[in-house]
Amino acid sequence: MNILVTGGAGLIGSNLVKALTKKKFDTYVVDNLWRGKLENLKENNDFFIDIKNNFYNKDLNNYNNCLEVTKNIDTVIHLADIVAGINFVFGNEAFVFRQNLLINSNIIKAAIENNIKNFLYIGTACSYPLEKQMEIGSKPLLEDEVYPANPESGYGWSKLMGEYELTLAGKLSNMNTGILRLHNVYGPPCEVSEERSQVIPSLARKLILDEDFIVWGSGSQRRAFLYIDDVIDGILKYLKQGFGHGCIQLSPYESTSIADIANKLVKISNKKVNVKFDTTKPEGDKDRTGNIEKAKKVLEWSPETTIDDGLEKTYRWIEKYLLG
């Protein structure tokens, strides 16, 4: 089976590509390196895919590029989108919305045009309506609770529009379509820059580089953090037994407050640091977790990595990345 991973040089993509090549799938990657990095496709200094023949540095908001990269492919796993931390997402909403609409719409249309057999779309819990995440202890959300739609950000809207377009494509073409909706993903290799990093790498960087340890918002906001290995396990299981079952979400059993994440990271760092909270900064919704009964039943999936283990591995990776 020939598999194309869009966004394959990013956090989830590079781990997925490594897993697919280990399973001997003929794996292709397209990524314009907006946030992904070629070095993410290396293990022990060697590329684990053939960069010359199996890697396309192309921008998917161009339809002709989408047509080119989906030629002779059986399965597309679509991960490429603009993803970043709360700062970037809320500071550049129109850009994020437009980019993601273009990328998603182009790749879905090109996949139909090239008679792709299977198309797996990776969605996000940011697509759930704001009002269902406004209280600490909000009920774990079910897959179909994304409607009536009211995501908090242009990012959440754009990702939901991608799910919607793929659902239409599934009805109107012969392509098997699937949606795996993920809660907050973390783990290596991650973006650590101030501008584009998400909360865990951003806090770890501040600690490692002895920057002011400021947490955005009150710290009481909670997120459902999934370690990367659990996500890859879920994607591989969806490929095997998910098609035909529609949208399935992956979430840990419980959410963790950002203050707890900050304190756990301080403990891992072994540094004497006071956590400061900047309540003038946005903190997003209050609490969000997913009901994983469908993932358990259909995919036989459940999260395995504890938040303490996942944070430790992520922190150590970032430390090595930044300090050598």
Positions touching ligand NAD (CB under 6 A) are 7, 9-13, 30-36, 59-61, 79-83, 103, 122, 124, 159, 182, 184-185, 198
Cis peptide before 189 (omega within 30 of 0): yes
Dist CA 299 CA 60 (whole Å):
30
With a CB cutoff of 8 Å and minimum separation 6, the contacts of 22 are: none
With a CB cutoff of 8 Å and minimum separation 6, the contacts of 312 are: 268
Smallest gap from Cβ 305 to ligand NAD, in A, equals 15
Nearest to 153 by CA among 195, 83, 90: 90
Using the minimum distance from each CB to ligand NAD, give the nearer residue, 130 or 273.
130
Question: Token pair of 314, please?
Answer: 């992520």
Smallest gap from Cβ 84 to ligand NAD, in A, equals 7
Dist CA 170 CA 42 (whole Å):
35
Smallest gap from Cβ 93 to ligand NAD, in A, equals 15
Smallest gap from Cβ 65 to ligand NAD, in A, equals 8
Using the minimum distance from each CB to ligand NAD, give the nearer residue, 122 or 292.
122
Smallest gap from Cβ 191 to ligand NAD, in A, equals 6
Using the minimum distance from each CB to ligand NAD, give the nearer residue, 236 or 273.
236
First and final CA of the chain: distance in angstroms? 38
Using the minimum distance from each CB to ligand NAD, give the nearer residue, 34 or 48.
34
Using the minimum distance from each CB to ligand NAD, give the nearer residue, 280 or 288.
288
Nearest to 66 by CA among 34, 28, 18, 17: 28
- Do 237 and 300 meet the contact criterion of CB atoms below 8 Å apart? yes
Question: Token pair of 22, please?
Answer: 């280990």
Question: Token pair of 27, please?
Answer: 């794996």
- Do 17 and 77 meet the contact criterion of CB atoms below 8 Å apart? no
Using the minimum distance from each CB to ligand NAD, give the nearer residue, 37 or 273.
37
Dist CA 36 CA 289 (whole Å):
27
Dist CA 172 CA 179 (whole Å):
16
**Which DSSP state fits 297?**
I
Smallest gap from Cβ 111 to ligand NAD, in A, equals 15
Smallest gap from Cβ 272 to ligand NAD, in A, equals 30
The torsion angles phi and psi of 26, rounded to 5 degrees, stand at -80, 105
Using the minimum distance from each CB to ligand NAD, give the nearer residue, 98 or 281.
98
Using the minimum distance from each CB to ligand NAD, give the nearer residue, 31 or 143.
31
Q: How many other C-beta atoms can be found within 10 angstroms of the C-beta atom of residue 18? A: 19
Smallest gap from Cβ 155 to ligand NAD, in A, equals 8
Question: Token pair of 248, please?
Answer: 């399935």
